[in-house]
Structure 1
């Protein structure tokens, strides 16, 4: 059976704009939660997307619902695909890449395999996966779910969550977290530029960061 829920409300465009200025690795300096398993990697060497999570849960060998989803998705959406533990069958390839590019999807994140990496790179379409495989899903009518909560890369993703993804990784945020997280990340990125400037003038990194003074303080307390 196929379970297809309503499409979620898109992430606010102003929030997407501010989040698009952030690097996932910057947010990783102050946040622990929401980061998808780093073994799910970008096929492209350099990319960054922000979009609205559209969730799919697909049986190992059945790609029927993913094909059907191409008539439902909207520009700026990010497909987040739970492969139900399958690490052999690629659910995403060259044809879907062409279709997704034409539809204006922001990207796709797969807790499993993709194929046709050359086509993905040629079209510069953002795809994150655990690797590539020649073995693919089929239109086998086994079932699946769309726009329900799923777990991808050890992170629970709700339909309508915000997705920030780049070559360093994939971050899932609820919409009410975006502004606070993004503002802090931008502040840190600006501070990093100041640190680089000070380093170029000959200062020592642990003096700037406070690492040396922290070690000395901890050692005095033991």
Structure 2
């Protein structure tokens, strides 16, 4: 491997490491400050509710029709086979809750490959299996209904829409108990630097509170101006 790709890989890995040291709230605040979308509403941790950070490997699902024939393979399998440590599988299920867009066998494969976690915009099933596997799984809800005959994979590793937030393969993903946030790869450095500055300001506020400063003073003078640049 030449120096160029090696350097690019190191930079991408360092971006994920920096993201993992933050939380979803600081990253969301950074996106707000920069006027960028990214925070997704309505997704919650259903299994292994711990913070995850990584690069998006996307899957686009659709209901079968004359216009959408599907890929011919089981949904999600290509993404699982391609993904590994540092990756988060992101399933664009269109917010559907009448059938699952992810299930237990897929979770087993994702866990085997060291995937950081899975984000599904819609329902998933076999949540107990994901919990037993200790695989972080963020989704709209759990449902027992199979995807068979109801949902197919339209494409994978393509730009997708997650609750009106555009997500491209390789974009950064962070998820924790507060929710799921995506960072466009093109803005990664700016967003990470801004989020790190915000997190530092928050730590300073906490220290002032622990030192005995009045809450009203700390919150009024620091919190409202936290996103100022």
Class of the TM-score when normalised by the shorter of the 2 chains: 0.7 to 0.9
Unaligned ranges ≥5, structure 2: 1-7, 65-69, 225-229
Q: Is 2:185 the partner of 1:182?
A: no
Q: 1:56 aligns with which of 45, 51, 59?
A: 59
Distance 1:44 1:85, change over 3 A: closer
What CA distance in whole angstroms lies between the structure 2 residues aligned with 1:39 and 1:89? Answer: 17
C-alpha deviation, 1:189, in angstroms = 2.2
Query: Aligned with 2:197: secondary structure?
Result: helix
Contact 2:86 2:116 (8 Å CA) reproduced: yes
What CA distance in whole angstroms lies between the structure 2 residues aligned with 1:102 and 1:45? Answer: 15
CA RMSD of aligned residues (A): 2.7
Contact 1:18 1:179 (8 Å CA) reproduced: no
Q: How many residues align?
A: 205
What CA distance in whole angstroms lies between the structure 1 residues aligned with 2:203 and 2:182? Answer: 26
Distance 1:85 1:198, change over 3 A: closer
Q: Counterpart in 2 of 1:191?
A: 201
Runs of 4+ in 1 over 6 A off after TM superposition: none
Q: Counterpart in 2 of 1:4?
A: none
C-alpha deviation, 1:67, in angstroms = 2.6
What CA distance in whole angstroms lies between the structure 2 residues aligned with 1:44 and 1:141? Answer: 23
What CA distance in whole angstroms lies between the structure 2 residues aligned with 1:104 and 1:79? Answer: 11
The superposition leaves residues 184-208 of structure 1 with CA deviations (integer Å, 9 ceiling, x where unpaired) of 3223223322222222333222212
Judge which range, 15-24 or 34-43, deviates more. 34-43
What CA distance in whole angstroms lies between the structure 2 residues aligned with 1:60 and 1:140? Answer: 6
Contact 2:172 2:185 (8 Å CA) reproduced: yes
Q: Counterpart in 2 of 1:39?
A: 42
Distance 1:30 1:183, change over 3 A: closer
Contact 2:160 2:168 (8 Å CA) reproduced: yes
C-alpha deviation, 1:135, in angstroms = 0.2
Q: Counterpart in 1 of 2:215?
A: 205
Contact 1:36 1:171 (8 Å CA) reproduced: yes
Q: Pick the structure with greater CA Rg.
A: 1
Q: 2:99 aligns with which of 89, 102, 107?
A: 89
Q: Counterpart in 2 of 1:26?
A: 26
TM-score by length of 2: 0.77
Contact 1:60 1:83 (8 Å CA) reproduced: no
Unaligned ranges ≥5, structure 1: 1-8, 215-222
C-alpha deviation, 1:93, in angstroms = 2.0
Matches within 5 A, 1:211-222: none
C-alpha deviation, 1:121, in angstroms = 1.8
Query: Aligned with 1:86: secondary structure?
Result: coil
What CA distance in whole angstroms lies between the structure 2 residues aligned with 1:68 and 1:147? Answer: 9
Q: Is 2:121 the partner of 1:133?
A: no
What CA distance in whole angstroms lies between the structure 1 residues aligned with 2:154 and 2:63? Answer: 10
What CA distance in whole angstroms lies between the structure 2 residues aligned with 1:209 and 1:104? Answer: 41
